Structure 1
Amino acid sequence: MSTELIESVPLVKISPQGIFKYILINITDGGELTKTVVRGFDDCEWHADIFEREEVIFSAQKLEAECIGGGRIEHDPEKKYMKVYGYSQGFGKADHSQSKQILKTKYPDYRIEISDDGY
Structure 2
Amino acid sequence: MCTQTKAAARMVNIPQADIDPSGVFKYILIRVHSREQGDDTEVDIVRGYGWAEYHVDIYEKVSMELENDGLLDCECVGGGRIRHDAQAKKIHVYGYSVGFGRANHAVTTEKLKARYPDYEVTWDNEGY
| Matching of residue 8 in structure 1 with residue 13 in structure 2 | yes
| Matching of residue 48 in structure 1 with residue 56 in structure 2 | yes
1:36 Cα offset (Å): 0.2
| Matching of residue 110 in structure 1 with residue 115 in structure 2 | no
What pairs up with 1:52-91 in 2 under 5 angstroms?
52-62=60-70, 63-91=72-100
Normalised TM-score (structure 1): 0.97
CA radius of gyration, larger in = 2
The residue identity in structure 2 corresponding to 1:10 is P
Structure 1 counterpart of 2:41 = 33
CA distance in 2, matches of 1:61, 1:72: 30
Normalised TM-score (structure 2): 0.90
1:61 Cα offset (Å): 3.5
1:35-71: per-residue Cα shift (whole Å, max 9, x none)?
0000011000100000001011011142100000000
CA distance in 1, matches of 2:18, 2:106: 17
Correspondent of 2:106 among 88, 97, 108: 97
Moved over 2 A (4+): none
CA distance in 2, matches of 1:93, 1:19: 17
Q: Give ranges in structure 1 of 5+ residues lacking alignment.
A: none
Q: Give ranges in structure 2 of 5+ residues lacking alignment.
A: 1-5
**What is the RMSD computed on CA atoms of the aligned residues?**
0.8
Tell me the SS of whatever aligns to 1:37: strand
Percentage of matched positions with identical amino acids: 39
CA distance in 1, matches of 2:62, 2:42: 16
